[in-house]
A = this chain, B = another copy of it.
Amino acid sequence: MGSHFLDSQEDLLLLIPGPTPVPGRVLRAGSRPMMNHRCPAFHELLTSITADLRGCFGTSGDPLTLTASGTGGLEAAVVNTLSPGDAVLSVVTGAFGVRFAEIATAYGANVTRLDFEWGQAADPAAVADALAAGDYKAVLLTLNETSTGVVNPVQQLAALAREAGALVLVDAISGLLATPCETDGWDLDVVVAGSQKAFMIPPGLTFVTMSERAWTASKSATMPRFYFDLAAAAKTLEKGENPWTPAVSLLYGLRESLDMIVEEGLSNVQRRHERLRDGVRAGAAELGFTPLAEAAVASPAVTSFRPPGGLEGDALRKILRNKYGLELAGGQGPLKGKIVRFGHLGYVHDADVLKGLSLLGAALDELGHDVDAGRALAAAREAMGR
């Protein structure tokens, strides 16, 4: 391929776990002119968004929309429910579990980290043991660990934490909509999501739900907060506003993407992500890739692979980007350079999986690997039921 086809970053096939591809109609919605964020039309916009977010989170509460990256949402979860010195159990299965623990530590919580090997899901028995050995005010969980491509058994872990009387704070940033997460049904206290994941809009918004128990905790929580003060966000939401000037263009896009999500149906959205995961895993296996996560805990949002034949992950990614126009994500922390992460999150369809696999096969062939691209594509199609 001539490089002039690839000199514009925007023409890449973007298969990373965020920012995810944004549908054309959402991009167009996001390019509408500005409005006053203190006027009736804005009130309608935010109120209708909040109503649809309830369905996405599976809650009767009001998910709060904040202008920030997902990390800001995690900070909001911590500082609105906890006080310095509070004992917190942080269940860590990868880079984003580490980050959640670091936030709680930065604000003075007394954090005990329970670490699992990267690529493994958290083991409920180990979590139960840890809970029995301490008296925790809160447990920090990751629904979908983006750095490894593992889904944690949040329902089960949350039940253990609730039994132990702890608040359950869940990073669902890359998991929500792609994999089940029932805020009310699983009795979760704080759930955090992000815009640039299955919500199919650009980064810049994060969504946070609070249970009644979390709101009660917030009244005595003394960690300092201002920008991320959720009580302020809940109060202004009553009149359809944010406390501060919100990212209006992203809200325009969100209104459109929520329409698409409602049109497709929440259960269909989840099934699609599971189907894509199965296709990616089946096809990549035929190409010689080794998945990091076992099938039972494999993420419907992103799949991490070790490349075949000891090939370095970042070297493969560079060829894919520069010669084939495919953007995959790399490894983080101890997995840096060792893996590639194939995102199948958000506005991604069966055809994108086939395209991605075909380019993976071409790059491997160019590097002298013996690959049968046809067999990989057939395996993916079969796994996706097509």
A interface list, Cβ under 8 A from B: 9-12, 14, 16, 18-22, 27-28, 30-39, 41-42, 67-72, 75, 102-103, 106-108, 194, 196, 202-204, 223-229, 243-250, 321, 327, 329-330
Contacts and interface: CB of A to CB of B under 8 A. Distances in A.
B227 A224 contact: no
Nearest to A242: B69
A204 B250 contact: yes
B32 A19 contact: no
Nearest to A79: B224
11 contacts: A14-B36, A21-B33, A21-B34, A31-B31, A69-B244, A71-B245, A72-B227, A103-B227, A194-B245, A202-B248, A247-B250
Nearest to A31: B31
Contacts of A16: 36
A224 B20 contact: no
A16 B38 CA distance: 11
Contacts of A41: 9
Nearest to A104: B226
A44 B184 CA distance: 44
Given A38-B329, A67-B67, A249-B250, 11 more contacts: A12-B35, A14-B35, A18-B245, A27-B31, A28-B31, A30-B30, A38-B330, A67-B68, A70-B244, A71-B226, A203-B247
B226 A223 contact: no
A111 to B, nearest CB: 13
Count of chain copies: 2
A249 B248 CA distance: 12
Contacts of A196: 34, 245, 248
A38 B203 CA distance: 13
A62 B243 CA distance: 29
Contacts of A321: 39
Interface centre among A12, A34, A196, A227 (most CB of B within 10 A): A34
A246 B69 contact: yes
Given A227-B69, A246-B203, A247-B202, A30 B31 contact: yes
Given A202-B248, A224-B223, A244-B71, A33 B18 contact: no
Contacts of A21: 33-34
B327 A39 contact: yes
Given A19-B35, A245-B203, A249-B202, A225 B30 contact: no
